[in-house]
Structure 1
Amino acid sequence: MIFSLENDQVPSAISTRFPHMLLSLAAMMPAVAPVAVQASPASAVVPPPALPSQADADRQKLQAMDAYLQAQVRNDMFSGVALVARNGEPFFVKSYGMANYELGAPNTAENTYLLGSMVKQFTAVAILQLQEQGKLKVSDPICRYLETCPQSWQGITLHQLLTHTSGIPNVSSLPNWDEKLAMLSYTRPELVALFRDLPLDFAPGEKFDYSNSGYMLLGAIVERVSGLRYDDYLAEKLFKPAGMARTYSGETRALVPGRATGYYSVGTDFINARLVSPTVDLGTSGVYSTVADMLRWDKALAADRLISRASRDAMFTPDKGGYGYGWFMAERHGRGAQFHSGSDNGFSTNITRFPADALTVIILSNSDRTNAGRVGNDLAAIAFGAPYRLPVEQLGDLLWNIMRDRGVAAALAHHAELKRTAPTAHDFGDETLVTMGYDLFEVRRLAEAKAVFEYNLRQYPTSAYSYDGLADIAAVKGDKAEAIALFEKSLGIDPKNEYAIDGLARLRADGAKKP
């Protein structure tokens, strides 16, 4: 029996980035008819109550999934679509929030969402297809397929790129990646040049360390070996055979009906995400899809329509860090799970497969605050009857809402009162207020941000990140001497604070350029 909840059946609640900073339902019991018992003259035997039917049990699970997601909307700003499938068929499908908040356009199951790092499984399948065609081997050295290859990469294999064990530094961890580098356009050689000459983080094969750089190189290798652009290869060799008609590359300025907008968050409010250059997404992100198309992808993998069973087994064989080729592997709810999340440009996504149970959970969200991995894991828990927790209101959200309605002074006074009268009710570490201050800084409410950081330092005098916030405010106002002094105070508390180290370096370099 297949169930789904349409958008109009249950009301949808509409509900930052902090710069220092995955069905088969478990053996259902069939309905049991009461056993007829002959009553004796002395007493009447009452038969045991009938166990719930599978339909009743499924209905309860559907209701629990919707209640969980409603709590996600209220307390974690979930916005998007969730799909739970068993035996390849949708069991639960429901959307929440808005595909575009400025236009008031609701999310639906037909919307397309940026997949983020879920794309790595596409790249892995492309490499495995080329191996099956005899055009490469995952044991080959990567320098065989790259035009310019530094000496330090000579011993790195395709397998090590696939499993994040190459030692090549992660390009998206470079200073100013989010603020500047990811917004620029690059040719393929220019993109590789961003990390080509960096020293390896460790000897190839020594350990696991997640690196987008490795999958960018794999995308370039797909292009060189196949003779097709990466996007064209995916469209022709993966999406078309899998029947994924609504899945496409984001490297287009064409108008695409149903494309959701990605959002960042400040407090409990959404803001527009920064635009990221599609040229930095090679092999790692840049693909939009729907929950229905991602279920088609899941079914194509399960049926070995894209790669052989041997290649699929290799893909789902964990190396260091529990990572195979484009997938993590771990135990969830006492079952083997295969999963991957994505986070990019205001989107948060996840796909989780429980192959032994034929259960798949797909979460596509256009809210950067959503932890899609947690959502997918908790929906799987409901499907299996395992424990899970409902999201609850966080202290930072409570304070933000007070500030929005009554001002920053009222929010800070409420924080002080709560800390005095209910010291165990919340986590009163300094991070909550640092995040709030930086959320205000993000939208250039500088006076309010300054008040939050200064209050935080009175509460927590060793809050190095509060000094960072005050330094950033001073820098925006053009007071570089004050900004330098504040960053130095931060480093006096935490000498390893890389944010303050980088901030100081930028300010001093800028000062050195002037006559």
Structure 2
Amino acid sequence: MSVEERINQWIASYDGNGYLNGAILVAYKGNILINKGFGLANREHKVPNTPATKFRIGSITKAFTAMCIFQLHEQQKLNIHDKIDKYLPHYPNPEGITIYHCLTNTAGIPNYTSSPDFWPRTMRLPSTLDQLIDSFKEQKLEFQPGSRFGYSSSGYAILTAIIENVSGMSYSDYIQAQICLPLGMYNTGCDDGINVIPGMASGYSFWEKPIHTAYADMSLPLGSYGLYSTTEDLLVWDQALKSAKILSQELMNHMFTPHLQSYACGWVVSNELGRKCLNHFGDISGFFNDFLRFVDDELTIIFLSNMNVTPVTHLSRDIAKTIFEDQVTLPPIAVRVPFTGLDALTGCYFLENETNTSLDISTKNQELYLTVTKMYGVPYKFKLIPIRQEPGRITFITDMIYEHLEFCCSLSGKVEYLLYTDYHGELQRGYTMSG
């Protein structure tokens, strides 16, 4: 089976059950294997996703911010090893935090998105960049700068301010003038939440059905996680990163070199499937995205989704496995079989290898539902579709994402345990308290 046939089979299997939401672009050895939209960009008006749909890309933005800093370094307008208070004179810096510390997430500055009131309150309120930096600049560092890795959008907020102070331009204008326009990325920019962006998808979450996400004010993200783009523009970006068009090759190599752990400057450099991979994911307000660059293998995978529960980081690697001929598990076709014994399956099931994770199985309107927490501990609720019934065993799969549950029952019909395969392919056994 050819690589095109394998990837088309994978796409057909997942899309057939409605598990793909967003846009996917896969380029391999100079050929585009996939460039397609899935699901709806706007559910209220039934607008489909296409390769031209714009998505908020979240922390994939950090790679662009890092590029801006390295460009200014190349122009000798700053030095990446300078202390940040050289450019932000009102920032207290007794520990000697440098620009490079911020680039590599080794500054020790507390991450403002991890503050207790950020998700319930702060993210909904408008803020200037100076106000945002003021909110964390007096906080105690979590560790000595340069001593270890600690992911922090606060460091990238500082980099955003340095870019603006050094260039004399807003972050948005600098991105346009120095990256987007020179490369022809006309569908990429900074989303301020005010201006109407034609072709922009809406972001969604899920609870029994697609729902709106909590509002996030877009005055905050900027150079930390505030850009929007398309899969096609990000392929242009990918190609530019292989050339010296907007930055010298020497500095490009420096930017891609990990400092502590696997984090470089706006990029993770990791081993995926036994191959070197430059990557970063991003999530914001109903959008979840992944960008994989297997540079040595000439493979680029870009998956932008406007459904936050779509497991793009797993699916993008599944696509890579498919291309590299590693084994992948395809979801079965969601063809419902008759089943009426719903009440016998309800209850709270505790996973044997997890101390804080449980599965809540409930019924509503003669349908069975699974409630389970996902990334960041957020709960989601999915309908369960019965697809197979055998003596002592009934199998369900979820809607919206591919998860697999098998209820194993005694001869009397009582559930003894369930086998739960989550959307990352991890199999676990679950029991009720009385089981």
TM-score w.r.t. length of structure 1 = 0.66
Q: Among 85, 94, 102, which residue is 1:143 paired with?
A: 85
Match of 1:118 in 2: 60
Equivalent runs, 1:234-273 vs 2, <5 Å? 234-267=175-208, 269-273=209-213
Match of 2:6 in 1: 61
* Conserved? CA contact 1:215–1:283, under 8 Å: yes
* Conserved? CA contact 1:318–1:328, under 8 Å: yes
Q: Distance in 1 between matches of 2:59 and 2:305?
A: 13
Residue 298 (1) aligns with residue 225 (2): no
Q: Among 197, 203, 211, which residue is 2:138 paired with?
A: 197
* Conserved? CA contact 1:88–1:299, under 8 Å: no
Match of 1:449 in 2: none
Deviation at 1:168, TM superposition (A): 0.4
Q: Distance in 2 between matches of 1:105 and 1:200?
A: 46
Q: Distance in 1 between matches of 2:182 and 2:13?
A: 35
SS in 2 for 1:123: helix
Q: Distance in 1 between matches of 2:358 and 2:154?
A: 30
Deviation at 1:286, TM superposition (A): 1.7
Q: Distance in 2 between matches of 1:202 and 1:114?
A: 31
Q: Distance in 1 between matches of 2:112 and 2:218?
A: 15
Q: Among 358, 362, 367, which residue is 1:431 paired with?
A: 358
1:204-245 Cα offsets, whole Å, 9 max, x none, are 111111100000100111000111000100011011111101
Equivalent runs, 1:88-237 vs 2, <5 Å? 88-152=30-94, 154-237=95-178
Unpaired runs of 5+ residues, structure 2, are: 362-369, 381-435
* Conserved? CA contact 1:88–1:295, under 8 Å: no
Bigger proportion of residues as helix: 1
Q: Among 197, 204, 225, which residue is 1:285 paired with?
A: 225
Q: 1:391 to 1:114 in 2, by over 3 A?
A: farther
Q: Distance in 1 between matches of 2:204 and 2:256?
A: 32
Q: Distance in 1 between matches of 2:122 and 2:269?
A: 32
Q: 1:131 to 1:433 in 2, by over 3 A?
A: same
SS in 2 for 1:436: strand
Match of 1:310 in 2: 250
* Conserved? CA contact 2:193–2:217, under 8 Å: no
1:180-206 Cα offsets, whole Å, 9 max, x none, are 101111122211011111111111111
Q: Distance in 2 between matches of 1:334 and 1:107?
A: 33
Q: 1:412 to 1:324 in 2, by over 3 A?
A: farther
Q: 1:304 to 1:390 in 2, by over 3 A?
A: farther
SS in 2 for 1:264: strand
1:74-105 Cα offsets, whole Å, 9 max, x none, are 4xx53101110024442212221111112111
Q: Among 345, 357, 360, which residue is 1:414 paired with?
A: 345
Letter in 2 for 1:228: M
User: Which structure has the larger Rg over C-alpha atoms?
Assistant: 1
1:299-325 Cα offsets, whole Å, 9 max, x none, are 111122111101110111011120001
Equivalent runs, 1:4-23 vs 2, <5 Å? none
Q: Distance in 1 between matches of 2:358 and 2:135?
A: 32
Deviation at 1:367, TM superposition (A): 0.7
Q: Distance in 2 between matches of 1:186 and 1:208?
A: 27
* Conserved? CA contact 2:106–2:146, under 8 Å: yes
Q: Distance in 1 between matches of 2:172 and 2:214?
A: 23
Q: Distance in 1 between matches of 2:311 and 2:287?
A: 10
Letter in 1 for 2:23: V
Letter in 2 for 1:436: T
SS in 2 for 1:331: strand
Q: Pairwise CA RMSD of aligned residues? A: 3.2
Match of 2:273 in 1: 333
Unpaired runs of 5+ residues, structure 1, are: 1-55, 399-404, 444-515
* Conserved? CA contact 1:170–1:213, under 8 Å: yes
Q: Distance in 2 between matches of 1:170 and 1:199?
A: 11
Equivalent runs, 1:318-467 vs 2, <5 Å? 318-390=258-330, 413-416=344-347, 430-433=357-360, 436=371
Deviation at 1:107, TM superposition (A): 1.0
Q: Distance in 2 between matches of 1:429 and 1:252?
A: 36
Q: Distance in 2 between matches of 1:438 and 1:411?
A: 22
Q: 1:385 to 1:217 in 2, by over 3 A?
A: same
Letter in 2 for 1:67: A
SS in 1 for 2:224: coil
1:14-45 Cα offsets, whole Å, 9 max, x none, are xxxxxxxxxxxxxxxxxxxxxxxxxxxxxxxx
Deviation at 1:162, TM superposition (A): 0.5
* Conserved? CA contact 2:291–2:300, under 8 Å: yes
* Conserved? CA contact 1:109–1:291, under 8 Å: yes
* Conserved? CA contact 2:10–2:330, under 8 Å: no
Letter in 2 for 1:106: P
* Conserved? CA contact 2:128–2:220, under 8 Å: no
How many pairs does the alignment contain?
Answer: 368
Q: 1:254 to 1:426 in 2, by over 3 A?
A: same
SS in 1 for 2:181: helix
SS in 2 for 1:280: coil
* Conserved? CA contact 1:381–1:388, under 8 Å: yes
Q: Distance in 1 between matches of 2:271 and 2:84?
A: 32
